[in-house]
Structures are given as structure tokens and as C-alpha cells.
Amino acid sequence: MTKLSLRPLKGYKPFPGPLVTVIMDGVGIGKRDESDGVFLAYKPTLDKLFQEDVCLKLKAHGKAVGLPSDEDMGNSEVGHNALGCGRVFAQGAQLVNDAIASGKIFEGKAWKEVRKRAGSGTVHLIGLLSDGNVHSHITHLYALLERCAKEGFKTVRVHPLLDGRDVGEKSALDYVGPLEKKLSELSASGRDFRVGSGGGRMVTTMDRYNANWGVVEKGWKAHVLGIGRQFKSASEAVRTYYAEDPKMTDQYMDSFVIAEGGKPVGTVQNGDAVVCFNFRGDRAIEISRAFAEPDFQSFDRLRVPQVFYAGLMEYDGDGHIPADFLVEPPAIDRVLGAYLCAAGVTSFAVSETQKFGHVTYFWNGNNSGYIDAKLEKYVEIASDRIQFHLKPWMKAAEITDAVVDAVAGGKYKFIRLNYPNGDMVGHTGIPAAVRVAVECVDLGLSRIAPAVADAKGVLMVTADHGNADVMFTEKNGKRSTHVAHSLNPVPFIVKDYSGADSWQPAAVQAPGLSNVAATICNVLGFEAPEGYDPSLIRLG
């Protein structure tokens, strides 16, 4: 293993205090109107910080954090990977492509369990049948099917969800036809590979943000129970729906069940394995919960088969949904924390349970535990088990207490913290609670800033993605509550209270979260490691 080291930054003047990096989870830069919970909140400390010379906008979604396209919202996992690792690593579709090409997707414990279940049960593959590359890609499904055949799986059922949104609105037969042909070709040597059920994505299975659990229920009935309008094939179902309603588009097509002699051919039974082959999380979370959540109550599942369920990826890193998935997070080396430990820099990381893993595990490149326990201290503050809008202040005060004490103690040179409020409360979509959440973060900053000033340190403030900055969207005069992450940029601020150096913004093209690690190195007196994305600042 290569020994890590950092070179001193030329012209740098040391300062006595710490560098404190505040991650305001879910606090983006929005439209500055009534839909923007960050703008509406009373936040005098943050507003003052927005006037600093080093106050930039960073891209925190899409390709800037390793996702396939700039239509993909960022999230806390990839955001903290970028913040703590200094480079952009493949996520989403690209990560799956790489895992398939290397074969790693079939080497993990999840696929081994799928293989085990295939010995006596059926393997079910559920997901969006499309090459839109937003939620899924048909080549990923084909790779799974080919592997099933190669490993001798006897019975496989595909439950395709029709797109018509990321691809042509009536293009279903362009995907269903080739799929049926492929399944027929693979059904040799005693194998039985067929379509089991399906439906349009907007009415079957792929709900998101708890908007309409009836969509997931319809999918459950079709995929698991075999309840739905019956057809001999998926192609017949599509042609029939088209003929009955010429205005029908794929995404709104009703569910269908493939049957022989009135008996569904693809119901899910005890002992089966179920894999969701979507790589994007937002529309895969709810069906994952329906399969894997022990105390699930969002609708009556009527019958709950005991199956092994896996996602193509982990769809929700906060909730660990699902628990099992085929493609592991990216292998990330040479993380910032490792370099700082090698340089003897003491560090302190704190958040409450909801985001503790993000300032530790994800920040450190998806690695658990300490890098060097002699130099680092990680503090987890237990989150309350209560709906976030009922207590939007969460544990901001306790996090702030820990940081203020750490600054005053003088033991740690680098301190990082995550305030989860803007994200966790932002997901509720309740405007009053969202504003309070942002105000609580600002209140925390109002205590941290003077502590850093007293210690003659440096304060750095940023976020991992947006959320609280979009509380609702408006279309044709109708408002819709927005509870997802936003595509907005996030702030990046450096306030130097030390008087040692005069930092100025550097000329960085398309700055993003991955530039922060090099910036931290510079503030601490080091050149950025080789290969890191460039620093956002320079000595004035």
C-alpha cells in the first residue's frame, strides 16, 4: 500500500484555532421566492455569511457527484462521498455498468442468496423496461437474465414496468417485443423464462415520496398476487390497451397479468427471490419497503410471501432500503481523512443518528470505523424517534454544544458536523416546519461562529444537496408539495477569523462538492493530493 503524505502549502501562515466545516444537509440555493424555505427562513447569521468574499455556488447533483445525468438529484450519500474524497466516483447507471463488466455484481452475498433461492424457487425481476437510463436500462436486465441462464436458473419471471416518459410515449412494443423474444431464446434446456406481469410506471409500482400508495398496491397485486386483467403475453396486453384507447400512453397503461388457462404464471411464492433492477432510488423505495419492511402498514398486502428481496442498488442510504443489494457502493481510496491522519491532523466529527454515518462512513469513502483512533473522535447523538415536522429542531442544539466544546477544548484541528434538519424536515414538505428547521441551523451557526472567532480559527459552511430550498412546485396554476431533493446548487462559504491568511476564490470551472476536500487541505496548510479536484480558494 502506498504511504500517504501531504506537502506543505507554500506561503501559508499557520493559525491557532481549528477549521470547522459545517454541512447544512439539504440547504440549497433556490429561487428566493415563496417556494424557497431557505429564503423565507429568518437566518441572520447565514445571511451575513453570504456576504463573504469566498461565497460560491457548488453543483451538488448529476454528473458533478457521479450520477448518470444532470437530471438526477443528488443525495446525502454521494454528496458526502464527494465532500470527503476529493474526486467524483461513478454512481448509479455507470456504477452498474462497471459492476456488470467486471463481474462483481455476481460475486456479492446478495447474488449468492438469489442463486440459492433459484435452486427450488422462482427468481423475479421487477423494474422499468426502458433504455431511458434515468431509472433503469434494459441492458442491465438482459445482463441479469443472461446470468440466470448461465447459472442454470430454472424459473425466472420478469415484471416489466412500461416507461413512456424517459422514452417515446408509445414505445412499449419496442421493448416488450425484444424482451419476449429474449426470454423465449433463454427458455431452453428445461429453463422457463417468461413475463409474469406489468403495467405503466405512473399507475403500477413506481410511486415515490408517498404520493400514492395505491400505485404500489396495484403493482403488488399484479406482481405478487396475480390479481389484474389477464393476457396471454405482454405484447397482447399492450396492443389491446392501445386498441381500446388510442390516446393511451405507456406510462399510464393499466396493470396486466400473464396467465394460462386463467391461472397467473408469475405469482411470488414463499422461498422465491425478488430483484428490483432499477438503479435510481426514488421510485424503487416504496416497492422495496412493501417486500422487506416487517411492520409495513401502507396498504393491506393480503398475502406476504417469505422471499429474499434485493435492489440493484441501495435506494435509501438513510433508511438502508433495501437491506440487500447487488451493486456495492464505489470503492474509494485515498480519502481526505486518511491523508489528514497521515499528516498527524487531529479531527472531530459529529452529527445525530440520521446523518452520523454521512460524516463518518460516507465521508471516509464508505469505510466504517476510525482511520486512526488516536487522532480522531466521532460522536453520534441519538436522534429522536418522532416525525421530523413535529420537532424540526431535531438535535441541532446538542450537535452545536458538542462542536462549541470541541472548539474550546483546543484538541482538534479539523472539526466537521452535519445538521440534518434541512433535509429530514424538508422531506416532510410542511412549510412552517421547514422554515423552523433552517432557522435552527442558523441558530447553531450563530453559536459556532463566535466560538471559532474566539479560537482564531476558520469557519467553512456548505451543504451536500438541496431540499428545503424547494417546498412546492407550480404548474398551470396548481401547486404540488415537493418533498424530494432539489437540483439547485449549494452554498460554499469560507470565513477566516484567524487573521493569518487572506483567502480568495480560485478560478475553478464548474465547481462542485468534490472541490471541497482540496480546499480543506489548503486551509489546513497542505497542497491538495495528486488527482484531487482543485481547491476553491487561493492565498490572496
Active centre residues (catalytic)? 76
Residue pair 210/286 in contact (Cβ under 8 Å)? The answer is yes
C-alpha distances (whole Å) from 124 to each of 151, 255, 291, 523 are: 15, 17, 12, 52
Q: How many CB atoms lie within 10 A of CB 24?
A: 27
CA distance 112 to 315: 20
Q: Give start and end residues of each alpha helix (H) in 388-528.
A: 396-409, 421-424, 431-454, 516-523
Strands 192-195 and 197-200: unpaired
The four Cα atoms 213, 428, 366, 442 give a dihedral, to 10 degrees, of: 170
User: What are the strands, taking DSSP E only, across 319-448?
Assistant: 347-352, 376-381, 414-419
Q: How many CB atoms lie within 10 A of CB 331?
A: 10
The grid coordinates listed for 157 are 419471471
The grid coordinates listed for 76 are 446525502
Q: How many CB atoms lie within 10 A of CB 456?
A: 15
The grid coordinates listed for 509 are 470551472
The grid coordinates listed for 131 are 433504455
Nearest to 249 by CA among 138, 176, 163, 128: 163
